[in-house]
């Protein structure tokens, strides 16, 4: 078997990149929806409860996707995940949660009276929409797609995030 050159991107590396991007996108979309919903009912909420809700949302999302992966793996392969696979899943999950650092800090600043909670929620949703665009850009920037298609991919997912927000508005 031929070894890949030092700078070569292996199928394993590509698979890991797919997992990382997918998890970050899940966490980001879910968090946008939750924060937007909280912003519609912000009266009576504290920055601490909102930050805790966001952290729980992120952790719950990565636990749900991890559980789905374990169940699917056992179903398809008839065996449990290897220690290596579980370690990789843990790293991917931790990386996905990093998308919530800035929104949580923004909410904490509301707790320190830098701004009100409504403003913090709006800024946090905006940060997550921008984060989503950056996640998509990091995924498409190295592809062979034309610059137009790369920008279209970023705009499409950003618009989808705005659609999620609009749907939440209609639902509430």
pLDDT tens across 25-84, in order? 889 989 998 999 899 888 999 999 999 999 999 999 999 999 998 999 899 999 988 999
State how far the Cα of 37 lies from the Cα of 171, in Å rounded to an integer. Answer: 9
Q: Residue 9 pLDDT > 80, yes or no? A: no
Q: Residue 15 pLDDT > 80, yes or no? A: no
Q: In the structure, what pLDDT confidence band is assigned to residue 20 with cuts at 50, 70 and 90?
A: confident
**What mean pLDDT comes out for the span 151-156?**
88
Question: Which tokens in the block code for residue 25?
Answer: 């996108």
Q: Residue 7 pLDDT > 70, yes or no? A: no
C-alpha dihedral over 43, 48, 49, 52, to 10 degrees?
Answer: 150
Q: Residue 107 pLDDT > 60, yes or no? A: yes
**What mean pLDDT comes out for the span 122-128?**
94
């Amino acid at each position: 078997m031929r070894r890949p050159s030092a700078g070569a991107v292996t199928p394993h590396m590509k698979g890991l990149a797919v997992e990382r991007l997918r998890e970050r996108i899940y966490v980001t979309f879910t968090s946008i929806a939750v924060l937007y919903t909280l912003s519609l009912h912000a009266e009576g909420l504290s920055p601490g409860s909102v930050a805790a809700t966001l952290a729980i949302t992120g952790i719950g999302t990565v636990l749900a996707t991890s559980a789905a992966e374990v169940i699917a793996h056992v179903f398809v392969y008839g065996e449990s995940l290897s220690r290596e696979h579980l370690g990789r899943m843990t790293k991917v999950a931790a990386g996905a949660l990093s998308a919530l650092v800035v929104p949580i800090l923004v909410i904490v600043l509301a707790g320190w009276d830098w701004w009100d909670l409504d403003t913090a929620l709006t800024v946090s949703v905006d940060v997550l929409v921008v984060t989503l665009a950056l996640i998509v850009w990091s995924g498409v920037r190295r592809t062979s797609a034309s610059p137009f298609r790369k920008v279209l991919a970023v705009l499409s997912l950003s618009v989808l995030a705005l659609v999620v927000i609009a749907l939440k508005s209609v639902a509430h």
